[in-house]
Structures are given as structure tokens and as C-alpha cells.
Amino acid sequence: MEDVSESKFCDQCGWSLTPLLNIHQSKKCNRSNCDKIIFFESWGEGGGLMVEKGNKLHFPAGSIKISLDPRDGRLTEFGLKGFIKDLFRGPEIPKEKESFLEFLIEQEKLLDTELSELEWINHLDLFNPDDSEECSRILKKESEYYLLKLYQSSSYGEAHRAYKSNDFEKATRDAYCAHVFHCLATLKLEHLDKIITLGYDCYHDMVTNELNFDNTKKEKLLIAQLARQVQNIDDLHLHVWLTDEQPILPRIHAKGISENTAKRALEFEKERRRIAKEESKADREHNLKSLDVKTKIFLAIVPIVTGAIGFLLGS
């Protein structure tokens, strides 16, 4: 009986001798007297692939799926930009003049195949003028994305017919229109449409927050300037301006701030002075108590020192 473990795995290092189903690498076994090709996975700490120099990287069919659907994975910033560029770029246009006509015909055929499978219009003939109008009417109601694909297909058709008639100017114009419809349809892709809308909302909030922050910095500077001004107001005027219910801004000649902000600044200054007076009073009382204690200690020490001196002189 064949030993399955020996036929599928290296007897030196234990790695697989057959390609894996997921993204993997291959190299020669580095054990002595073993030159078998081994297949293995190697992932970095951050989750990315870690490929050492000399290793081969393998991507089995279906192992990579690029999608804007967040349920299929998360694209990096670089991956997202690259994928969206590819979506808008569309099929590659051949550079050879002879291949261009085939390209136009093939693109129309691919789009017509996709459209003919739609349940809304699969009973219609896209090449029948009457059915084509009905198809357009249905898709206007059901799907703007596929309506644009219909226009794209029609433009490719017009382009290759103009090309066959040697009307290259019209062919170029229709081919350009086909690509415009492709871009417009791309914008209607389910997830891209949400990414653009939500991304704009997020960006709008970011810019709004930055503007608000700039306004906040401006307001802080104005309030700091106001605080320095109100410190020069004597207690009498401070009291009167806070209690006579008359506008404060004209009296202090301040601009760029509200009446309510000016009033709060005066109230803050009044409270600051009150606290400062209480702290000053507390410091004076503390100093007086400290002086009283020191005096009592001095008075208590004097007789002792005097007695000690007398004792020493008498001896």
C-alpha cells in the first residue's frame, strides 16, 4: 500500500510537495540531501505576505477576489485607488487599426449578451427599433446602471457601423461616447455609489470641523485679548456694567465677539478678583498666625536663654 504521507509531504521538513489551494510560496527544501520543491504559506505579523528572496509566489485561480463590497474584504488605500482606476479605464483599446473594428463589435456583443439576460427585458429584441425603445423605457424605471449600459452598447454599434462606412470621425466620436457611458455607469455601481456619497459626507464633516477649529482659534485669541482688557477695569465700573443691563460691547470697544461672551468675561474677571482677595486675606491671616507662633516661641525661649547665661556667669 502506498504511503500517502510520503507522497504528499517532504520527509525532511514536513511541508507539502503539492501546490496549495490558497496563495502560497515554493522553494527547494533546505534540509541536507533534499532538493524537493516544497509548497507552504508564510504570513507576516501584520497579516501580509512575507516572501523571502528566491521564493516563488503562487496565486491559484480564484484565490484573489477584488471587490468594493466590504463583506468580501478590506482594500488598502493603494488597492482602492488602483481598482477604481481600472473600473473607469474599462477594456483596453487596441492600438492596431485593424483590431479596432473587431474591438467595437466585440464590446457591443458582450454588452448585448449581458443586457439580454436581464429579467426586465429578456423578452425583447435589442436590435428591433420598437423593442429598443421599450427596453429604454423599462430600464429608465428599473435600473439607471443598465440604461447607461444600453446607451454604451448602442454607441459601440454606431461606432463600428460608421467605421465600416469609412466615416472615421463619427466612429471616433461614437467610441468616445461609449466610454463616457461606461464611466457614468461605473459611477452607478452599488458600492462605489455609496463610497462616493459617504466619502463626500465624511470629507465634508472633516472640512467643516477644520473651519470650526479655525474659528475656535480666532475666538480664543479674541477672548484672551478681552481678558487682558477687562483686567484694567476698576471694580466700580465692573460692577455697574454687570448690573445696569446695558450693552457692554460699546463700552469696552470690542469686536468679533458676542454681547453674551463679553458679559461672561466680565463675570469671570469679577470672580477672579473675589478669589484673589480671599486668597490674599487667607495669606495674611496665615502670616499673622505664623508670626504669633514665632513670637510666643521667642518669648518662651528668652527666659530660658537668660537663665542659662546667668548660670554660666555665676559658675
Half-sphere exposure of 14 (CA within 13 A, CB side): 0
How far is the C-alpha of 148 from the C-alpha of 154, rounded, in Å? 10
61 exposed, middle or buried (CB, 10 Å; 0-12, 13-18, 19+)? exposed
**Is the separation of the CB atoms in 8 and 17 below 8 Å?**
yes
What is the reported pLDDT for 143?
Answer: 92
Mean pLDDT for each consecutive 10-residue tract of the chain (315 residues)? 60 83 83 82 71 81 70 77 84 83 92 91 84 89 93 93 92 93 90 86 83 76 86 90 88 85 90 90 85 76 73 68
Give the pLDDT score at 315: 59
Domain boundaries, the chain: 1-64, 79-188, 206-296
A 10 A CB-CB count for 201 gives 10
Find out whether 83 and 75 touch, Cβ atoms under 8 Å: yes
Considering the entire predicted model, what is its pTM?
0.51
Distance CA 175, CA 72 (A): 34
pLDDT at site 4: 47
CA pair distance 31, 40, nearest whole angstrom:
15
Q: What is the C-alpha radius of gyration for the chain, rounded to an integer number of angstroms?
A: 43
87 contact partners, CB below 8 Å, separation of at least 6: 186, 189, 192
- Kindly list the strands in the beta sheet with 37-40, ordered across the sheet, starting from the edge strand earlier in the chain: 37-40, 24-28, 56-58
CA–CA separation, 169 and 65 (whole Å): 39
Which three cell numbers mark 280?
490674599
pLDDT of residue 146: 92
**C-alpha–C-alpha distance, residues 122 and 60, integer Å:** 35
| pLDDT score, position 1 | 42
